[in-house]
Structure 1
Amino acid sequence: MQDTAPQTEVLAENLARHAAKMAKKKAARDKIMATKEGEKGLVIVHTGAGKGKSSSGFGMILRCIAHGMPCAVVQFIKGAWDTGERRLIEENFAGLCQFHAMGEGFTWETQDRARDIAMARKGWEKAKELIRDPEIRFVLLDEINIALRYDYLPLDEVLAFLRDEKPPMTHVCLTGRNAKEDLIELADLVTEMTLVKHPFRSGIKGQKGVEF
């Protein structure tokens, strides 16, 4: 019969080394966390060519709802779409989350720049109203980066409002690809979604539950 004692000893040594390594890592992490005491309302940007910008923003909205935090969504581009997140919020959580669909589709669909600008302005005015509301803790500005990219809204005006008028404890998340560099500079938290592979390039259209 093979002696299992050496194997047991090796296993015990490996477990002890792992425990020591994790204890050291925890001590270092606890030391870092001890210096993080402040809280503030964040300006958050989700950008990049990859999928997940709006999805991540709506994930944060659901977190707020779960915590009983009043929140709001302003959609700048996808307002004409019947999306799952819009149905979910309006049918189940309207008491905690306002949903304002202000856009009418991507610019190549509307083919009316003047109308796009007017709708973007209307959305921005609603966004400012919601952000100023002291009861609302989180505001998602879905696809506003697209409106800024096409100059439907003045970037300087948006930056000045976020810098000077946003309440100190209100979080604001701005989604959409091609976020302006000045917005990225102003933001507290920026995530860039990197495109690695997408089924659209293989001829697969956007699908329910994945894209909308």
Structure 2
Amino acid sequence: MTDTPLSDEARHAVKMAKKKAARDRMMEKKEGEKGLIIVHTGAGKGKSSSGFGMILRCIAHEMPCAVVQFIKGAWDTGERRLIEGRFSGLCQFHAMGEGFTWETQDKARDIAMARKGWEKAMDLIRDPEIRMVLLDEINIALRYDYLDIAEVVAFLETEKPPMTHVVLTGRNAREELIGIADLVTEMTMVKHPFRSGIKGQPGVEF
């Protein structure tokens, strides 16, 4: 007597049951927790957006968090309006930069502002009550040597509290930073409206 062929629905159910069993076995081994060093880099859009998404998750979980912006500090962004206007009790927001280096055209001032931002970042990261610190566009400051990469890496390795998450965004992340990170995502640009003459728009870019 031959077996009756399974229907598409039954085959799908069997396949998903096997996948769930394998997933459950894998998750049984994942018990550890730690504060992560997270890097978002690459030429594609979404690095800061992803970082701010994590900040909003922290806010939703009532986890104290903080943002230090190294480059876009002069911009009136939607995320800054939202956090400062509605969630300042849970999330500190420090806009330290004054714009991209080609806008300021003052290297000494850019270096001074980057240093000021890093000093604030270290204070926030050291605070054990703060669960996540977003260092937005710090990779740009590191790329131009406005900050010492060795100092930043050493601080994250030795002084970051064990359960504090630190998110670092911006293009061209330094290899030293990638080397110590727990999670690295590279955003790849496939298509961008800027190349077709479309300017940055509220809700999409800022």
Q: Is the structural similarity TM-score above 0.5?
A: yes
Matches within 5 A, 1:47-196: 47-196=41-190
Partner of 1:3: none
Matches of 2:85 and 2:10, distance apart in 1: 53
1:211 aligns with 2:173: no
Per-residue CA deviations over 1:57-96 (Å, capped at 9, x if unaligned) read 0000000000000000000000000000000000000000
Offset, 1:15: 1.0
Identity of aligned residues (%): 84
Is there any run of 5+ residues in structure 1 with no aligned partner, and where? 1-8
1:15 aligns with 2:12: no
Matches of 2:154 and 2:35, distance apart in 1: 16
Partner of 2:36: 42
Offset, 1:181: 0.8
Bigger Rg, structure 1 or 2 = 1
Report how many aligned residue pairs link the two structures: 203
Matches of 1:141 and 1:160, distance apart in 2: 16
Matches of 1:117 and 1:52, distance apart in 2: 25
- Structure 1's consecutive aligned runs of 4 or more residues displaced over 6 angstroms after TM superposition are none
Is there any run of 5+ residues in structure 2 with no aligned partner, and where? none
Offset, 1:170: 0.0
**Please, what is the CA RMSD of the aligned residues?**
0.9
SS of equivalent to 1:45: strand
